[in-house]
């Protein structure tokens, strides 16, 4: 389970996240929606322990910067985190060694699902942007984390990979994992989220539960998103 | 009247660069500090010279500088066999290459732009004024000429690289022929020099000076010709100036004609290199460090060892094996050559000033290796191990590079300074300890300025912290030296003291900054 309590992140005088609080339970998929610069990536990076912040973030009760919390976390960055001089297979070997785990079968199945197995001997720098993104996702999943945060995971992926990652979201959810996804592609997330937070100017402008859970079908997520974001930009 | 597009572009870029200087105070402060340092160096050097000062033989200097020009020329021109060189930025490629401007005019725009960049590359020469003035009576005008010579060597080398790439990149046979000519000239000169030096091993330095000023070396393409011009100016030899100038001008003209007339469609050749340079520059802006290697030989795959934090160490070993072309990086080689040249000139003053100078060079050249690269990727922060362990395993891999660099430098200096094997070992250890002291100070900067991107502030703090951290070792060494205690030679005890102090302080500093990864921010 992921808990974010009163998190504020400033870059100099710019407030990127302003006193944000929310939680995501095991078996739940939460999404962060918002226009560019709303603060989605910042909160994802704070959760992943990559940024300093004010407030508290806990993973299964552990402080997010503790070793116990790191063991539970998987992070898919917005820009693929790939080493130029390691082969595809070596990336997974490195992560497995660093996290002290060994499951060759699982490594292979991940690569096969993302159509990377036949490219296992290619260097990171030889991969296209889309393939690097797929490898980055594999690296985040290979140690079987309990909490997985995805920062714009669908950007640059081909239709097959999008289908695979959507299936993986469902599998992880059924497996009881905690999933947080940041995205600005509303149409690509319509069918699998449980709770959506719409971000504007570093804050949550609205939170919506999926209609199948709440029975609320008055306004679609897309309508709500545009009502909030367009109203804000008109006011500005 | 409207200016033409190229003139407008050059003028507006210059104007905006100057405006930018005033918009960003940090840049202005940096520029002021850099200029102030040059002035301070100039003034401090002036004070120590009067009418009674006896200067050293200027032929030593011209020989050393010619060697430096030749090495720079060869290293940069060699790029032509790999990825070529580019004088263009991505906006040039996207806007100028597609515009109805004649490719020849675009090429001249590139050449003009490159001249400015080459000049900036040689600024470090201005900081050498003090010792050049004290030892050789070099005045500021002569120093500017030395700088211009350096910049011209870099420029001619880049032009050569571009021609080599344009004419050979698409044809392996042509590439082999060009490589045979290129390396043939270098090897022929190297063999000639070794044979000449072997004739009289008792006077290696004197013979090096003679060789450096010989007409044969002044006829070596690129660096040799420009070294000849400098030789002529400093030694007042008109024939040398004329010969070097004619050859250089003819060469630049010939290379430009080759590029602009023989092959009008050079756009494709520079496109890939420009794109690579753009990616590198973008990555640098974001604080990331990219691999710049061209073709990589994958070789044996797999990390084979490592668990937890040590997986980083074995990963770095694997990456280094694939990245490495030379044992040392070109910048490291240049700093080493400058240090050796300095040692040749200062050998009568003993190891003290030479060690201090090589350490100063080391402060500029020490890189954190793969640790810096790791800081730009999320894994070093995500892996569930203690921060201290991760730091230690991430800096461990640099050891081999530090050791090789120290060994080459001090074995070379052993011949010049007639050092004993014990001296060499202790000097290598002392230099290694400084490598880690600089690394520890870099970690301290990450700890203190993790989120700040002002390079000026970071550089100033880095130099100050190294100075403070090095002080205890220097003081202890001086105290030991004054006691008169000697072990095997005069140098052993003081340099051993420096090593011990540096190692202890480095370890202490790294330990105190052990939580750096908790507080650092992914850039």
Least Cα distance to B370 among B314, B435, B447 occurs for: B314
User: For residue A59, what are the contacts with CB-CB under 8 A and spacing of at least 6?
Assistant: A1, A2, A3, A69, A72, A73, A146, A147
Sign of CA pseudo-dihedral B17, B18, B24, B28: positive
* Residue that is last in its domain, among B249, B281, B313: B281
Half-sphere exposure of B66 (CA within 13 A, CB side): 32
- The more confident residue out of A214 and B187 is B187
Rounded CA-CA distance A193/A180 in Å is 9
Query: Between B296, B306, B378, which is nearest A81 by CB?
Result: B378
Q: Hey, which bits of B138-192 come out as E strands?
A: none
pLDDT computed for residue B395 by the predictor: 85
Contact with chain A for residue B299, Cβ under 8 A: no
**Percent of the residues in chain B that have a pLDDT greater than 90, as a whole number:** 9
pLDDT computed for residue B135 by the predictor: 82
Residues of B in contact with A87 (CB under 8 A): 298, 301
pLDDT tens for each residue of A186-204: 777 767 889 999 999 899 9
User: What residues of chain B, 417 to 476, have a C-beta less than 8 Å from chain A?
Assistant: 450-451
Q: Which two tokens stand for residue A236?
A: 């500005």
Least Cα distance to B7 among B96, B97, B117 occurs for: B96
Rounded CA-CA distance B237/B225 in Å is 14
The answer to whether residues B270 and B351 belong to one domain is no
The answer to whether residues B318 and B390 belong to one domain is yes
Rounded CA-CA distance A37/A42 in Å is 9
- Which of B26, B290, B382 is most worth mutating to test chain A (most A CB atoms within 10 A of its CB)? B382
A52 with B451: Cβ contact below 8 A: yes
Strand partners, B129: none
Neighbours of B508 (CB within 10 A): 12
Contacts 24+ apart (CB under 8 A), B145-148: B145/B230, B145/B233, B145/B234, B146/B65, B146/B230, B147/B119, B147/B122, B147/B123, B148/B119, B148/B122
User: For residue B114, what are the contacts with CB-CB under 8 A and spacing of at least 6?
Assistant: B87, B155, B158, B159
Helix (H), strand (E) at residue B321: helix B310-323
Residue B459, min C-alpha distance to chain A (Å): 21
Contact with chain A for residue B385, Cβ under 8 A: yes
Q: Say how many Å lie between the first and final Cα of chain B, rounded.
A: 47
- Within-domain flag for B497: yes
Contact with chain A for residue B518, Cβ under 8 A: yes
The answer to whether residues B277 and B314 belong to one domain is no
A95 with B379: Cβ contact below 8 A: yes
pLDDT computed for residue B1 by the predictor: 46
Residues of B in contact with A83 (CB under 8 A): 315, 319, 377
Helix (H), strand (E) at residue A178: strand A178-183
**CA gyration radius for chain A?**
18
- Within-domain flag for B221: yes
Least Cα distance to B460 among B473, B449, B475, B474 occurs for: B449
Count the domains in chain B: 2
- Within-domain flag for B2: no
Burial class (CB in 10 A: 0-12, 13-18, 19+), B202: exposed
The answer to whether residues B139 and B88 belong to one domain is yes
Least Cα distance to A76 among A185, A191, A181, A190 occurs for: A181
Rounded CA-CA distance B3/B17 in Å is 19
- Within-domain flag for B442: yes
A121 with B301: Cβ contact below 8 A: yes
Residue A81, min C-alpha distance to chain B (Å): 6
- Within-domain flag for B443: yes
The residue ranges of every structural domain in chain A are 2-78+147-235
Rounded CA-CA distance A36/A152 in Å is 11
Query: Between A48, A97, A125, which is nearest B378 by CB?
Result: A48
Least Cα distance to B518 among B382, B396, B370 occurs for: B382
Q: What range defines the domain where residue B246 resides?
A: 53-281
Residue pair B476/B497 in contact by the 8 Å Cβ criterion: yes
Query: Between A51, A68, A93, which is nearest B521 by CB?
Result: A51
A81 with B296: Cβ contact below 8 A: no
Contact with chain A for residue B322, Cβ under 8 A: yes
Q: Which two tokens stand for residue B266?
A: 């050079």
Identify the closest residue of chain B to A80 by CA–CA distance.
Answer: B377
Residue pair B316/A94 in contact by the 8 Å Cβ criterion: no
- Within-domain flag for B447: yes
Residue pair A84/B290 in contact by the 8 Å Cβ criterion: yes
> For the ranges A95-99, A216-220, B139-143, B466-470, which has the lowest average pLDDT?
A216-220
Residue pair B113/B93 in contact by the 8 Å Cβ criterion: no
Least Cα distance to B88 among B158, B157, B19 occurs for: B158
The answer to whether residues B275 and B316 belong to one domain is no
Query: Between B290, B315, B450, which is nearest A84 by CB?
Result: B290
- Within-domain flag for B201: yes
User: For residue B264, what are the contacts with CB-CB under 8 A and spacing of at least 6?
Assistant: B103, B104
Strand A2-11 relative to strand A54-59: parallel, antiparallel, unpaired? antiparallel
A86 with B319: Cβ contact below 8 A: yes
Neighbours of A103 (CB within 10 A): 14
The answer to whether residues B124 and B258 belong to one domain is yes
Residues of A in contact with B299 (CB under 8 A): none
Strand partners, A54: A8
pLDDT tens for each residue of B223-233: 899 999 998 99
Query: Between A50, A83, A89, which is nearest B522 by CB?
Result: A50
Rounded CA-CA distance A71/A74 in Å is 8
Interface of A with B (CB under 8 A): 45, 48-52, 65, 67-68, 70-71, 73, 75, 77, 81, 83-87, 89-90, 93-95, 97-100, 121, 123, 125, 139
The answer to whether residues B231 and B334 belong to one domain is no
Query: Between A85, A98, A123, which is nearest B383 by CB?
Result: A98
Which SS3 state, helix, strand or coil, does residue A59 take? strand
Rounded CA-CA distance A14/B51 in Å is 61
Q: Which two tokens stand for residue B512?
A: 């105190």
A93 with B290: Cβ contact below 8 A: no
Contact with chain A for residue B378, Cβ under 8 A: yes
> What class has domain A2-78+147-235?
alpha beta
The residue to which tokens 């009289």 are assigned: B200
- Which of A41, A44, A70, A98 is most worth mutating to test chain B (most B CB atoms within 10 A of its CB)? A98
B522 with A51: Cβ contact below 8 A: yes
Neighbours of A143 (CB within 10 A): 22
User: For residue A183, what are the contacts with CB-CB under 8 A and spacing of at least 6?
Assistant: A31, A32, A33, A40, A150, A152, A153, A154, A189
- Within-domain flag for B445: yes
Sign of CA pseudo-dihedral A175, A180, A182, A183: positive
- One digit per residue, the tens of pLDDT, for chain B of length 523 reads 456 888 888 888 888 888 877 777 767 777 777 777 777 776 766 666 677 777 788 888 888 889 889 988 888 888 777 655 566 777 777 788 788 887 777 777 877 777 777 777 777 777 778 778 888 888 888 888 898 899 889 889 888 887 887 777 677 788 888 889 988 988 888 888 888 877 776 777 788 888 888 888 888 888 899 999 998 998 888 888 999 999 999 999 998 888 776 555 666 666 666 776 666 666 655 555 556 556 778 888 888 888 999 999 999 989 888 887 555 666 677 777 778 877 877 777 778 888 888 888 777 776 656 777 787 788 998 999 988 899 889 888 888 878 888 888 888 888 877 888 888 898 999 999 998 888 888 888 877 776 555 666 777 788 888 889 889 988 988 888 778 777 767 777 888 889 999 999 998 988 888 877 776 666 5
Rounded CA-CA distance A87/A125 in Å is 9
Strand A62-63 relative to strand A54-59: parallel, antiparallel, unpaired? antiparallel
Q: Which two tokens stand for residue B78?
A: 């060699």
Residues of A in contact with B302 (CB under 8 A): 89-90, 93
- Give the rounded distance of the alpha carbon of B320 from its chain centre: 20
Rounded CA-CA distance B76/A52 in Å is 42
The answer to whether residues B270 and B377 belong to one domain is no
B378 with A67: Cβ contact below 8 A: no
User: For residue B69, what are the contacts with CB-CB under 8 A and spacing of at least 6?
Assistant: B149, B150, B153, B222, B223, B224, B226, B227, B230
Q: For residues B167, B168, B173 and B176, what is the CA-based torsion angle, rounded to 10 degrees?
A: 120
Identify the closest residue of chain A to B390 by CA–CA distance.
Answer: A98
Residues of B in contact with A100 (CB under 8 A): 307-308
Instruction: Tell me how long chain B is.
Output: 523
- Which of A97, A129, A145, A147 is most worth mutating to test chain B (most B CB atoms within 10 A of its CB)? A97
């Amino acid at each position: 389970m992921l808990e974010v309590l009163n998190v504020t992140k400033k870059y100099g005088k710019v407030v990127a996240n302003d006193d944000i609080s929310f939680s995501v339970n095991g078996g739940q998929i939460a999404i962060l929606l918002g226009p560019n610069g709303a603060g989605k990536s910042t909160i994802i990076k704070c959760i992943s322990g990559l940024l300093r912040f004010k407030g508290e973030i806990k993973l299964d009760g552990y402080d997010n910067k503790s070793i116990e919390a790191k063991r539970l976390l998987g992070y898919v960055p917005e820009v693929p985190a790939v080493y130029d001089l390691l082969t595809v297979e070596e990336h997974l070997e490195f992560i497995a060694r660093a996290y002290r785990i060994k499951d060759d079968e699982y490594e292979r199945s991940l690569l096969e699902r993302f159509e990377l197995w036949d490219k296992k001997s290619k260097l990171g720098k030889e991969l296209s942007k889309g393939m690097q993104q797929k490898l980055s996702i594999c690296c985040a999943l290979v140690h079987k984390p309990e909490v997985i945060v995805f920062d714009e995971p669908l950007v640059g992926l081909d239709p097959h990979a999008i289908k695979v990652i959507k299936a993986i979201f469902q599998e992880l959810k059924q497996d009881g994992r905690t999933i947080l996804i940041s995205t600005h592609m509303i149409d690509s997330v319509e069918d699998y989220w449980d709770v959506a937070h719409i971000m504007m100017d570093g804050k949550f402008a609205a939170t919506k539960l999926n209609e199948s859970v709440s029975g609320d079908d008055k306004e679609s997520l897309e309508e709500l998103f545009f009502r909030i974001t367009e109203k804000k930009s008109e006011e500005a | 009247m409207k200016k033409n597009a190229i003139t407008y572009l050059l003028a507006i870029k210059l104007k905006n660069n100057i405006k930018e200087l005033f918009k960003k105070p940090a840049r202005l402060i940096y520029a002021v500090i850099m200029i102030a340092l040059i002035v301070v160096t100039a003034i401090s050097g002036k004070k120590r010279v009067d009418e009674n000062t006896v200067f050293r033989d200027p032929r030593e200097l011209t020989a050393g500088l010619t060697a430096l020009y030749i090495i720079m020329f060869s290293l940069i021109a060699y790029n032509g066999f790999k990825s070529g060189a580019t004088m263009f930025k991505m906006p040039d490629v996207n806007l100028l290459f597609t515009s109805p401007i004649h490719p020849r005019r675009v090429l001249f725009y590139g050449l003009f732009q490159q001249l400015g960049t080459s000049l900036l590359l040689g600024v470090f020469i201005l900081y050498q004024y003090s010792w050049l003035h004290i030892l050789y009576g070099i005045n500021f005008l002569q120093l500017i000429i030395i700088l211009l010579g350096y910049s011209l060597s870099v420029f001619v080398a880049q032009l050569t690289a571009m021609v080599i790439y344009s004419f050979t990149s698409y044809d392996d046979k042509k590439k082999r022929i060009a490589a045979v000519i290129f390396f043939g000239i270098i090897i022929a000169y190297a063999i000639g020099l070794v044979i000449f030096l072997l004739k009289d091993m008792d006077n290696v330095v004197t013979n090096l000076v003679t060789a450096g000023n010989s007409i044969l070396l002044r006829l070596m393409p690129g660096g040799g010709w420009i070294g000849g011009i400098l030789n002529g100016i400093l030694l007042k030899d008109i024939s040398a100036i004329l010969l070097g100038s004619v050859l250089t001008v003819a060469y630049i003209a010939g290379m430009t004609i080759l590029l602009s007339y023989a092959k009008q469609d050079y756009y494709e050749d520079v496109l890939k290199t420009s794109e690579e340079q753009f990616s590198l520059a973008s990555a640098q802006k974001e604080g990331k460090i990219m691999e710049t290697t061209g073709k990589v030989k994958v070789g044996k795959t797999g990390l084979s060892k490592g668990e937890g934090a040590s997986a980083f160490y074995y990963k770095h070993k694997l990456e280094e094996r694939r990245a490495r072309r030379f044992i040392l990086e070109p910048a490291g080689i240049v700093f080493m050559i400058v240090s050796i040249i300095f040692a040749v000139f200062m050998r009568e003053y003993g190891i003290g000033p030479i060690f201090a100078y090589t350490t100063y060079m080391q402060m500029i050249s020490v890189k954190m290796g793969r640790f810096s690269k790791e800081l730009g990727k999320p894994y070093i922060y995500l892996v569930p191990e203690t921060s201290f362990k991760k730091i230690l395993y991430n800096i461990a891999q640099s050891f081999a590079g530090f050791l090789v660099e120290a060994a080459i430098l001090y074995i070379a200096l052993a011949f010049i300074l007639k050092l004993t094997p014990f001296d060499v070992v202790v000097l290598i250890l002392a230099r290694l300890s400084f490598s880690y002291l600089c690394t520890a100070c870099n970690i301290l900067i990450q700890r203190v300025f993790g989120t700040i991107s002002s390079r000026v502030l970071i550089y100033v703090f880095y130099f100050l912290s190294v100075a403070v951290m090095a002080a205890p070792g220097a003081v202890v060494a001086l105290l030991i030296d004054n006691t008169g205690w000697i072990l095997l030679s005069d140098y052993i005890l003081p340099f051993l003291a420096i090593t011990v102090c540096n190692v202890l302080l480095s370890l202490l500093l790294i330990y105190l900054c052990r939580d750096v990864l908790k507080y650092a921010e992914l850039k």
